[in-house]
Amino acid sequence: MPEGDTVFRAARLIGDALVGHAVTRFDIRVPGSATADLRGERVHSSIARGKHLLLRVGEHTLHSHLKMEGRWHVYRPGQRWRAPAFQARAIVGTAPADAVGFELAMVEVLPTADEDRLVGHLGPDLLGPDWDLAEASRRVAADSRAAHVALLDQRNVAGLGNVYANELLFVRGILPTTPATEIDATAVLETGYRMIHANRDRSARTFTGIDRPGQRMWVYRREGKPCRRCGTLIETDEIGALPTSERLIFWCPRCQS
């Protein structure tokens, strides 16, 4: 599931391949930006902002959001793609490499000066150079909703998704439905910072410290299985993360009281 660490790696992958080179192919296959043409412009940077990826080319930015299924690949020119062409939503080519975004949920080309329209609402970014623990803690602690919901709200803190929220609350011993106003937001976010930085450079996340299939998670997707700490069966339910969506929560009834 793409979360802040996934987007960070995607931005770095694209940046390593394209930054400093002039664009030779620019093909955006979504309404609204399909006519954009940045050929001849130079790629300046590729950065992640929470779950958003910003590829800056000339005086414009190619913005994308992976949502659930999106992913970026990098290929040598002429190399066969590892995904069907009909899933491609954005193609940015240079002399040494092509970056192809497949099944991207959001794609838009806009002036770089207007980026705040898309990402200006985001809270402090756990993987950003300007991470502000105090401000993120203030926002989470002021949120009267369930702690799980408060952590998922990108306006409070950018980069955490459902996997991180579940695992983070287990490690801190917090029931997901506990109001965020009742938790130690600073301690939770300090743990979240360590977690996402530890996983930033891994292809497969681990929260237990064990990097083997089936042993990386404490509670996420482990409903009905024994807690790795106490043996109590993990429970699951749904929680209203946003007005239009429900998210699955997982917890140990004994360790998260």
216 has catalytic annotation:
no
108 is an active site residue: no
Cα dihedral 33→34→37→39 (10° resolution): 120
Q: Residue 23 pairs with which residues in a beta bridge?
A: 94
State the catalytic residue, choosing from 3, 9, 124, 145. 3
DSSP 101-164: EES-SEEEEEEGGGTHHHHTT---BTTSTT--HHHHHHHHHT--SBHHHHHH-TTTSBS--HHH
> What whole-number distance in Å separates Cα of residue 227 and Cα of residue 219?
7
Neighbouring CB atoms inside 10 A of 235's CB total: 16
User: Which one is catalytic: 2, 89, 124, 222?
Assistant: 2
Report helix, strand or coil for 235.
strand
Q: Of the listed 9, 49, 51, 205, which one is catalytic?
A: 51
* Catalytic site residue from 56, 145, 216, 247: 247
Active site residue 247: yes
- The residues that are catalytic are 2-3, 51, 247
